[in-house]
Amino acid sequence: MGLAEHFTELRRRLTRAAVAIGVGVVAGWFVAEPALDFLRSPVLVAARSQDRAVVINFPSISAAFDLRIEIAVIVGIVLSSPVWLYQLFAFFMPALNRREKRYTSGFVLSALPLFIAGCAAGVWVMPHIVQLMTGFAPARTSSYLDASAYFDFVLKLTLVTGVAFVLPLFVVLLNFAGVVSGRAIAHAWRWALLGICLFTAIATPAADVMSMLLLAAPMLALYGLACGVSLLNDRRRVRRLEATVNESLFVES
């Protein structure tokens, strides 16, 4: 394909992705209300457990509308992700060989459930975080949480946790690409343990050790799985190389 044909193909893919995102945003508008209720539930749990007022405050007239638009856009992007991810993958697919296509397809199919699992883990520990942080307020006081700041905190924690669950997959992809060996990944377990502990300490309050452990345990398990897959791939690569060398020696003899 020439340069003009590549731009035409890119425009067609982007148009399809934009239409899918637009449809997803419209659908997200109608599910924004139950999404708000779900994200607000940790505040209600904190209010009941502390027996005092913990409420979400909308400081301006348009704050509720702006927040609903933001949630609709995020939900729309998530709902339409299979479509725009496929369009992106289909645009680059002709430039890949068969082996690269297989690796990329496996990466995309594996990254999606890991990302969803990470987001679910973030949502799971969120009530503990909200309850702990609002519990530092003095007695006989009320906590008025800014709606925009609160939902930004919830969404960012959820997304960051989802991305953190996908990171071990990048390690496996680097190993399959020959950038890093499985032995090097296994020897770096101390740094990985330190990095995971630092991440969970930042993502969750330092005093909430239980939330930190609940978040760190699956991340450590995923890192161990990445190490095992990388070591097996290295062993398979060595066997394939030995077979190639033996075959070449046999042909020469």
Q: How many CB atoms lie within 10 A of CB 127?
A: 17
**Is residue 28's pLDDT more than 80?**
yes
Would you state the pLDDT for residue 250?
Answer: 60
Where are the domains positioned within the chain? 3-252
Tokens 């680097």 -> residue: 174
Residue 178 is classified by DSSP as T
**Which of 31-35, 85-89, 107-111 has the highest mean predicted lDDT (pLDDT)?**
31-35
Q: How sure is the predictor about 148, in pLDDT bands with cuts at 50, 70 and 90?
A: confident
Over pLDDT 90: what percentage of the chain?
A: 2
Average pLDDT, the chain: 78
- Interatomic CA distance for residues 185 and 154, integer angstroms: 32
Would you state the pLDDT for residue 175?
Answer: 77
| Tens digit of each residue's pLDDT (9 = 90 or more) over 52-70 | 777 888 888 888 888 888 8
Would you state the pLDDT for residue 22?
Answer: 92
Would you state the pLDDT for residue 38?
Answer: 80
pTM of the model: 0.66
CB-based burial, 221-240: b 16+ in 10 Å, e otherwise: ebbeebbebbbebbeeeeee
Q: How sure is the predictor about 23, in pLDDT bands with cuts at 50, 70 and 90?
A: very high
| Tens digit of each residue's pLDDT (9 = 90 or more) over 191-248 | 888 888 887 777 665 445 666 776 777 788 888 888 888 888 888 878 877 777 666 6
How would DSSP label each residue in 10-29?
Answer: HHHHHHHHHHHHHHHHHHHH
